[in-house]
Amino acid sequence: MWNVVWILILVFTFLFMEFVAWFSHKYIMHGFLWSWHKDHHKKDHDSWFEKNDLFFLVYAIPSIFFVILWGEFSFWLGLPVSIGIFCYGFTYFVVHDIFIHRRFKIFRNINNRYAKGIRRAHKIHHKNICKEDGECFGMLFVPKKYFK
């Protein structure tokens, strides 16, 4: 029974992180931390690294926090929550940095409807290089219209 609860918490955390990503992308990255995120929309630098990459560190903090709660304070929920956050972060990295932006040349074109929809929605998001008036702030769940 506890194994099922543990897995459900991990899956719920993973799914909840999509909301966290959407919210933080829309209201933080395109809000008060636009100074970190804007170089991801407008490439006016020569470096492979972007200030936007700092967000990976910011999102690692809650995962580390929950590991500490689990390991040091025997808070059993800490481990599945931490792993759920980590799995979402890893998935985000693979989808966003490897598949969509091809910062690492690993995947060739993946030719299925879901992959095309995600790529299309992200392309629409990047058409706007400004802080305001953006759309498609999520990563894994995008509006149906991008799958047509």
pTM of the model: 0.88
Does 93 have pLDDT greater than 80?
yes
For residue 103, which of 57, 22, 49 has the smallest C-alpha distance?
49
Count of Cβ atoms closer than 10 Å to residue 101 Cβ:
14
Average the pLDDT over 66-87 and give the result: 96
Q: What is the mean pLDDT of the chain?
A: 87
Instruction: State yes or no: pLDDT of 128 exceeds 80.
Output: no
Question: Is the CB of residue 49 less than 8 Å from the CB of residue 36?
Answer: no
- The closest alpha carbon to 33, from 56, 6, 12, 52, belongs to 52
Tokens of 113: 């409807």
Among the listed residues 50, 137, 36, the one whose alpha carbon sits nearest the alpha carbon of residue 97: 50
